[in-house]
Amino acid sequence: MVPGERPGTYDDAPMSEPQARDSTIVVVGASLAGLRAAEEIRHEGHNGPVIIVGDEIHVPYDRPPLSKQLLAGKWDVARVHHHAPDKLDTLGLEFRLGRRAVSLDTDTRTVMCDDGRSLHYDGLIVATGAKARRLPGTEGMPRVRTLRTLDDCFGIRSDLEGAGSGARLVVIGAGFIGSEVAATCHGLGARVTVVEALPTPLGRVLGDEMGEACAQLHRAQGVTVLTGALVDRVSAHPGAPTPVVVHLVDGTDLEADLVVVGIGVAPAVEWLEGSGLTVDNGVVCDEALGAGDRVVAAGDVARWTHPAMGEQLRVEHWTNAAEGGAAAARNLLAGSGAAQPYEPVPFFWSDQYTTKIQVIGLPGPDDEVVVVEGSVEEGQLVALYRRGDRLRAALGFSRPRHLMAYRPLLAAGASFDEALAVARS
């Protein structure tokens, strides 16, 4: 190992010095990871300028309620904001909202924004998150939506209300966002059809057995789920009784009042082209979220080396944004010589109908799955995921207390036999 090099760093990464207490920190990204980073900077006693650049006009807000409580009309918009304005004021942050970062020069330590203004930084936190993927040919098409932002949520609600009772909704993609939209809109009285290209919903995440269990949650509520169904194209017919038609490859035509596309997200990294940072399915970081000299990344955009798992991960979940934002801020302030590895136990959840799905760890489609409590038929269960001789993940359907017993095991890198022993106790 080269003197001064830390495990998990990329070979040509320069070492970052600690930040002076009065230095200027720029955070690009005004969502959860960016806000948590800014909060941690203040918590650590940093008194220099902290500038947050965000391409939306809204102050930071929580995304999980967009597909659930806010979409259902159970919460008002004030409830999804992370902080009331007076709390934000106490942090002494400078927001540049409605401004998009368009380029980065790491040599001059400058971020250029789309209003033509540049920002000089002493330390930079990249937290630009991800953007919803769109179906080719549907950009700007009326009544064809994605759900990633607050405005997206308002648009879906408006279209549903405009269509009236019994609106026909086609959801393309049966991942967690698509499934939550389907469940919420079904609860609002919409007639919902879910179209999934894979043979089993969530099969690439949870495996076929548990993915099929998720499909049954929809079918039990009367929601139509089409699997192995490929979309050929979508056509719009403004003003017609059927505003949108989803044409499948097999010749099926699905008439809809609204289509929501939930086919995943892509990390927002276009603005980093030519910056000198390594970009490959996100911003490539070391084990401490370092991306370059005086630069760290956090949240959905960060692809870092997890020291315990020994692999590079990019995790698109709320807890990773919150924990990663704070960790990145601490490591930026400390400098690379004193930075601490970021090794969380991933955790995410999804609320669908009356079922709370929770996952600890990172399951994979080829893992062995063992149901240790409950059953698919009961709709309440705990399943453990085995890879080699190790416990890789735990999945719960409406079993939060039982599920959390496996978190310490995952943190400790426990064997699968140890996990089975806990299940039997």
Q: What is the pLDDT of residues 14-50, one digit of tens each?
A: 578 999 999 999 999 999 999 999 999 999 999 999 9
pLDDT interval class at 425 (50, 70, 90): confident
- Rg from Cα positions in the chain: 22
Mean pLDDT of 344-357: 95
pLDDT at 13: 52
Does the pLDDT of residue 2 top 70, yes or no? Answer: no
CB 361 within 8 A of CB 384: no
Does the pLDDT of residue 87 top 80, yes or no? Answer: no
Residue type, 31: S
pLDDT at 127: 98
pLDDT at 4: 35
Does the pLDDT of residue 11 top 60, yes or no? Answer: no
251 contact partners, CB below 8 Å, separation of at least 6: none
Mean pLDDT of 154-158: 97
Q: Which of 225-243 are b and which e, b meaning 16 or more Cβ less than 10 Å from the residue's Cβ? A: bbbebebeebbeeeeeeeb
pLDDT interval class at 416 (50, 70, 90): very high
Does the pLDDT of residue 104 top 70, yes or no? Answer: yes
Q: What's the CATH number for 134-263?
A: 3.50.50.60
The CATH H-level superfamily of 25-131+266-334 is: FAD/NAD(P)-binding domain (3.50.50.60)
Give me the percent of the chain exceeding a pLDDT of 70. 96
pLDDT at 83: 79
Helix axes 208-220, 176-187, angle to 10 degrees: 10
The residue with tokens 């320069």 is 14
pLDDT interval class at 411 (50, 70, 90): very high
Mean pLDDT of 121-145: 96
CB 220 within 8 A of CB 212: no
Residue type, 132: A
Model confidence over 266-276: pLDDT tens digits? 999 999 999 99
Give me the percent of the chain exceeding a pLDDT of 90. 91
pLDDT at 14: 57
Instruction: Decide if 25-131+266-334 and 134-263 have a common fold.
Output: yes
pLDDT at 3: 30
Mean pLDDT of 181-186: 98
pLDDT at 9: 42
Q: What's the CATH number for 354-424?
A: 3.30.390.30
Mean pLDDT of 361-371: 95
Residue 349 β-bridge partners: 358
In degrees, rounded to 5, the angle at the alpha carbon of residue 195 between the alpha carbons of residues 194 and 197 is 145
Domain ranges of the chain: 25-131+266-334, 134-263, 354-424
3-state secondary structure the chain: CCCCCCCCCCCCCCCCCCCCCCCCEEEECCCHHHHHHHHHHHHCCCCCCEEEEECCCCCCECCHHHHCHHHHCCCCHHHHECCCHHHHHHCCCEEEECCCEEEEECCCCEEEECCCCEEECCEEEECCCEEECCCCCCCCCCCEEECCCHHHHHHHHHHHHHHCCCCEEEEECCCHHHHHHHHHHHHCCCEEEEECCCCCCCHHHHCHHHHHHHHHHHHHCCCEEECCCCEEEEEECCCCCCCEEEEECCCCEEEECEEEECCCEEECCHHHCCCCCCECCCEECCCCCEEECCEEECHHHEEEEECCCCEEECCCCHHHHHHHHHHHHHHHHHCCCCCCCCCCCCEEEEEECCEEEEEEECCCCCCEEEEEEEECCCCEEEEEEEECCEEEEEEEECCHHHHHHHHHHHHCCCEHHHHHHHHHC
pLDDT interval class at 309 (50, 70, 90): confident
CA 389 – CA 382 distance, rounded (Å): 19
Mean pLDDT of 371-383: 94
pLDDT interval class at 57 (50, 70, 90): very high
Q: Which of 76-85, 289-298, 317-326 has the lowest mean pLDDT?
A: 76-85
Mean pLDDT of 307-325: 93
